[in-house]
Amino acid sequence: MLKFLGIRDFVIVSSLELDFSAGFTALTGETGAGKSILIDALTLALGGRGDATMVRNGCERAEIAAEFDISGLPSLRDWLREQGLEGDEGICLLRRVLDAGGRSRGFINGCSATLQQMRDAGEQLLDIHGQHAHQTLLRPDAQRALLDGYAGVAEDAEQVAALYHDWQTLRRRRLTLSENAEAVAAERELLQFQRDELKGLNFNAADWQIAQDDHARLSHAASLLETAAFGVDTLSESDTACLSQLNVLAVRLRDGLEHDASLGDALRMLESAQADLQEAVYALRHYQQRLDADPQRLNELERRIQDVMDAARKYRVAPEQLDEALQRIESRLAELGGDADLAALGQQEEAARKTYSSAAQKLSAARKKAAAKLAQEISTSMQTLAMQGGSFAVVLLPMTEGNAYGLESVEFQVAANPGVPPRSLAKVASGGELSRISLAIQVAASQLASVPTLIFDEVDSGIGGRVAEIVGHLLKRLGKSYQVLCVTHLPQVAAAADQQWQVSKAVEDGNTLSRIAVLDGERRIEEIARMLGGVKITETTRKHAAEMLGATA
């Protein structure tokens, strides 16, 4: 549950630190005092969208920190461990910093976190039911999502959507092939020819480089042999061969050593040069023997190179990219189904349809069972919310082939009065009725919530009197199982709370600031009396307020 919330320089809050308790807490105050700022701050801390307007005027940044007790949430603890975001045992600390330029940073347990990670954590920590939830409930997709959540089949619905996508992909592919059979057949025939042609070329990038090297050598074989022969002649075989002259010089240097030992260095260098030149002669003679000026081999290489160059020009690629061209052709053939016919593709499509249909039927059965239970719970709540005799229905409207959401659409229907057939919620409910029905739906859905904290932001708008008192008792009952926070303007709801906070605002140094005070016994009576009596509070009003608090204790 939520244990602590710290707010600094956020909207009209300068600095605020709040410690939270279990049970039902009511937030009250004058209109415009900033009661919903607490909800906005929590939303931001849990990865909600933020902008520069949320930073208090004249400040550099806003900062929100929320601490939760997660000792009863093993799945969240596991998730934090997997994400590398675990902190102190049983504690999850979320922190959001928003600067005046609109940039923000998020932290979980002191570690930098993405907004998506903060939202993922927030989904396991609390649910916020806004004052405009009844407007959302008019949308078919919201009605379907609420039913799936109530039935516990949200993941099954996602699987059905994935299976439907797989089925439709195969269906579109079959239709495309069927509608363009002639064009597809022509394309496949061309691609098969190109594939066979390139495979027949037997191209290999490494062999291609060797062929180019061999061709360069063989095409210049005569010149290379002449160069080698010239080298051998110059170094060893001519009358003025280098080695012969060096031998003569070496003899004379050895004779000179008898008269001057300093000639030894020159002699040693000369002898080293003689050895190197002799090795060069051996290498050139070996090269002459190895070099094969084979005209037939040269012709073969020239034909090979020409074939490769012709193919490269034909497919408009560099010779080194012919392998890639073959891969692209084979990939496109695979997309077209290769040699598979429409019958085989049709079988795949039918198998995918059956898999989808089986999963969708299971989803439908779960929805049908949950729809009856949800409708009964909401109908029962309606009787206590001044809609006696009214009834609620969750109708599953079948579809011929189904869609990504299953084999039916979901429609909430209501009969506000007895003897009247139910009709679509969007068509028959007035504003006040819609608010009460919305609250009944939210209470029914909240009772299955997997999160420990539920927040209601003025969901009691449009009701009053005895109905407001019933709403207060409903929220108090929820508070026995969950931590419940409710922003309210109704004294009947506030009086039912286990604890009450008062939100107020004042002008200090020309700046409007919002504050929250925890109300004790006398101050709480005064606040309930204000909510009852308006501007002028009498002793009678205070007595009534005390009676209300005593009645709900």
Instruction: Evaluate if residue 162 carries a pLDDT over 80.
Output: yes
In the chain, % of residues over pLDDT 90? 29
Mean pLDDT of 390-396: 91
User: How far apart, in whole angstroms, are the C-alpha atoms of residue 522 and residue 537?
Assistant: 14
What is the CA angle 137-20-119, rounded to 5? Answer: 45
Mean pLDDT of 397-405: 90
Is the separation of the CB atoms in 150 and 374 below 8 Å? yes
Residue 111, token pair as written in the block: 């570690």
Instruction: Evaluate if residue 405 carries a pLDDT over 80.
Output: yes
Helices 342-384, 154-179: crossing angle, 10 deg rounding:
150
Residue 208 pLDDT level (bands cut at 50, 70, 90): confident
Mean pLDDT of 339-356: 84
- Mark out the alpha helices in 258-341 (DSSP H runs): 264-290, 295-314, 322-335
User: How far apart, in whole angstroms, are the C-alpha atoms of residue 543 and residue 254?
Assistant: 135
* Phi-psi map region of 293: left, alpha, beta (phi>0 left; psi -120 to 50 alpha): beta
User: How far apart, in whole angstroms, are the C-alpha atoms of residue 236 and residue 224?
Assistant: 18
Residue 350, token pair as written in the block: 């039918």
Q: For residue 197, what pLDDT is reported?
A: 87
Is the separation of the CB atoms in 432 and 462 below 8 Å? yes
The closest of 529, 189, 525, 165 to 336, measured between CA atoms, is: 189
The residues, ordered by sequence, that sit 6+ positions from 22 with a Cβ below 8 Å of its Cβ are: 1, 479, 483
Q: For residue 470, what pLDDT is reported?
A: 85
In this predicted model, which residue has the larger pLDDT, 432 or 210?
Answer: 210
Instruction: Evaluate if residue 31 carries a pLDDT over 60.
Output: yes
Residue 448 pLDDT level (bands cut at 50, 70, 90): low
User: How far apart, in whole angstroms, are the C-alpha atoms of residue 497 and residue 354?
Assistant: 53
Is the separation of the CB atoms in 296 and 251 below 8 Å? no
Instruction: Evaluate if residue 133 carries a pLDDT over 60.
Output: no
Burial class (CB in 10 A: 0-12, 13-18, 19+), 5: buried
User: How far apart, in whole angstroms, are the C-alpha atoms of residue 340 and residue 116?
Assistant: 44
The closest of 24, 66, 29, 22 to 44, measured between CA atoms, is: 66
Instruction: Evaluate if residue 115 carries a pLDDT over 80.
Output: yes
Is the separation of the CB atoms in 353 and 407 below 8 Å? no
Q: Which helix (H) or strand (E) holds 414?
A: strand 406-415
Q: For residue 165, what pLDDT is reported?
A: 96
Instruction: Evaluate if residue 289 carries a pLDDT over 70.
Output: no
For every residue of 353-395, DSSP letters joined together read HHHHHHHHHHHHHHHHHHHHHHHHHHHHHHHHTT-TT-EEEEE
Instruction: Evaluate if residue 109 carries a pLDDT over 90.
Output: yes
Q: Which domains does the chain have, with CATH numbers?
A: 1-125+454-519 (3.40.50.300), 188-335 (no CATH)
Q: For residue 234, what pLDDT is reported?
A: 81
Instruction: Evaluate if residue 520 carries a pLDDT over 80.
Output: yes
Instruction: Evaluate if residue 500 carries a pLDDT over 70.
Output: yes
- Sign of the torsion formed by the C-alpha atoms of 472, 473, 479 and 481: negative
Instruction: Evaluate if residue 327 carries a pLDDT over 60.
Output: yes
In this predicted model, which residue has the larger pLDDT, 529 or 128?
Answer: 529
Instruction: Evaluate if residue 457 carries a pLDDT over 60.
Output: yes
Q: Which helix (H) or strand (E) holds 499?
A: strand 499-508
Q: Averaging pLDDT over each range in 46-55, 126-135, 417-426, which range is the top one?
A: 46-55
Instruction: Evaluate if residue 228 carries a pLDDT over 90.
Output: no
Residue 286, token pair as written in the block: 């070996």
Mean pLDDT of 104-112: 94
Residue 48, token pair as written in the block: 């909600």
Q: For residue 469, what pLDDT is reported?
A: 86
Residue 135 pLDDT level (bands cut at 50, 70, 90): low
Is the separation of the CB atoms in 357 and 376 below 8 Å? no
Q: For residue 247, what pLDDT is reported?
A: 86
Tell me the average pLDDT of the chain.
Answer: 84
Residue 116 pLDDT level (bands cut at 50, 70, 90): very high
Q: For residue 238, what pLDDT is reported?
A: 78
Mean pLDDT of 510-519: 81
Residue 370 pLDDT level (bands cut at 50, 70, 90): very high
Burial class (CB in 10 A: 0-12, 13-18, 19+), 440: buried
pTM: 0.59
Mean pLDDT of 515-531: 88
Q: For residue 329, what pLDDT is reported?
A: 87
Mean pLDDT of 455-465: 73
Q: For residue 351, what pLDDT is reported?
A: 95
Instruction: Evaluate if residue 222 carries a pLDDT over 60.
Output: no
In this predicted model, which residue has the larger pLDDT, 213 or 192?
Answer: 192
Amino acid at 52: A
Amino acid at 121: A
Residue 461 pLDDT level (bands cut at 50, 70, 90): low
Q: For residue 37, what pLDDT is reported?
A: 83
Least confident stretch, 41-55, 373-387, 452-466, 470-484:
452-466
Residue 295 pLDDT level (bands cut at 50, 70, 90): low
Is the separation of the CB atoms in 390 and 383 below 8 Å? yes
What pLDDT digit, counting tens, does each position of 411-444 carry?
Answer: 999 887 788 888 888 776 566 667 677 777 777 7
Q: For residue 136, what pLDDT is reported?
A: 66
Instruction: Evaluate if residue 131 carries a pLDDT over 60.
Output: no
